[in-house]
Amino acid sequence: MIKLAQALAVLTTVLWSGSYLLNKLAFNEGIGPLTLSGLRYLLAALLLMGITRVRKAKPKGDKLPFAMLLLLGLTGYAIAQGLQYMGQAHLTPTQSSLCLSVGNTTMVVLLDRLWLRENQTRWDHLKLLLLVGGITLYYSPFDSARFPWAGVLLMALSSIGYAAQMTLNRRLLLSRKVAPMTLVAGPMLAGALALLAIGLMVEGIPRLSLRIVLMLGYLSGVSGALGFFLWTKSQQALTAFESSGINNLMLIEIALMDFLFFGRAFSALQLGAIAIVFGAIIWIQAGRSAGKKA
């Protein structure tokens, strides 16, 4: 059972990693990042709701107040995913993954310290310094004229939304006994509608070619709905720490896909930087797991 769960979790990370490459290809087809993310999550939310209705499965636990549902949708999707997609339009898949790994981990740790009062060990600052040092090493020697300022800034802002939604989800699951499915489909639908509305106003109505339709099918159905189902299935046998560790494989997978499909070349310094960031995230999550067991 454990090995099957691990295999499902690894498969899910591969499906999610492939989304980074398809996003870049979709941007090249002329669809804007806000419209693409809005369509992706709208279709994924409708698919998840349809599956739930067919299975006649009602989520257990308290219902989510509309204001909280809207807040989760705006932070987790309109801000986190919308700005992330905008950032990806300015970055390579590996740069996007690296910035997101550093930004998400850093913001979650900081919010934990400020709000949940977790991760208060003396090693925390060193762990965060390793993260910052790793991404700094990746971009060295620093060239301000060639540095992708817009992409990195958008990724940093998206991490604030991601961390806010993650923290809210954890508090709701602990204090209100809200079922995990309740925190997914509804907020995803709300965030997707906001993203799509803004995208259509700012980017205009896209021309949906066959390639874009096929990409949306993968992003919403395979990477979105199926990915979420497989990940949830794997969590029945894996601990949160084990799931988080497997999720970190995306940093390596995306770099490998970037090399294989886009011919991206990496220097020894950049490969070392990716390894430092990967190791720092594993160390941070190991400390979080140990703190929860204590």
Q: How far apart are CA 274 and CA 129, in angstroms?
A: 14
Residue 129 forms part of a structural domain:
yes
Number of independent structural domains in the chain: 1
Predicted pLDDT at 55 = 73
- Domain assignment present for residue 187? The answer is yes
Domain assignment of residue 85, yes or no:
yes
Residue type present at position 280: A
Q: How confident is the model at residue 10, as a pLDDT?
A: 87
Helix (H, G, I), strand (E, B) or coil at 29: coil
Structure tokens at 165: 């939604």
Nearby residues of 89 by Cβ (< 8 Å), 6 or more positions away: 27, 33, 151
pTM of the model: 0.82
**Within-domain flag for 245:** yes
Q: Specify the pLDDT at position 153.
A: 96
Which residue ranges in the chain fall short of pLDDT 50?
119, 294
Model confidence pLDDT, tens digit, residues 205-234? 998 899 999 999 999 999 988 887 787 678
Backbone angles phi, psi at 71, to 5 degrees: -65, -45
| Amino acid 180: pLDDT | 67
CB atoms within 10 A of CB 87: 26
Q: Is 293 contained in some domain?
A: no
Q: What pLDDT is recorded for position 117? A: 54
Please choose, from the candidates 87, 7, 14, 88, the residue with its C-alpha nearest in 3D space to the C-alpha of residue 250: 14
17, part of any domain: yes
Q: What is the pLDDT of residue 39?
A: 95
Please provide the size of the chain in residues.
Answer: 294
Report the distance separating Cα 252 and Cα 131, nearest Å.
15
| 294 located within any domain | no
Residue 119 pLDDT: 47
d(CA 39, CA 33): 10
Longest Cα separation, the chain: 57
Q: Which two tokens stand for residue 256?
A: 């490998």
For residue 160, what are its two tokens? 């604030």
Q: SS in 3 state form for 190-252?
A: HHHHHHHHHHHHHHCCCCCCHHHHHHHHHHHHHHHHHHHHHHHHHCCCCCHHHHHHHHCHHHH
pLDDT reported for residue 6: 81
By C-alpha distance, which of 44, 148, 177, 129 is closest to 87? 148
Q: Over the Cα atoms of the chain, what is R_g?
A: 19
Residue position matching structure tokens 């910035």:
99
Question: What's the domain range around 194?
Answer: 2-288
pLDDT of residue 115: 60
Predicted pLDDT of residue 289: 53
Answer whether residue 208 is part of any domain. Answer: yes
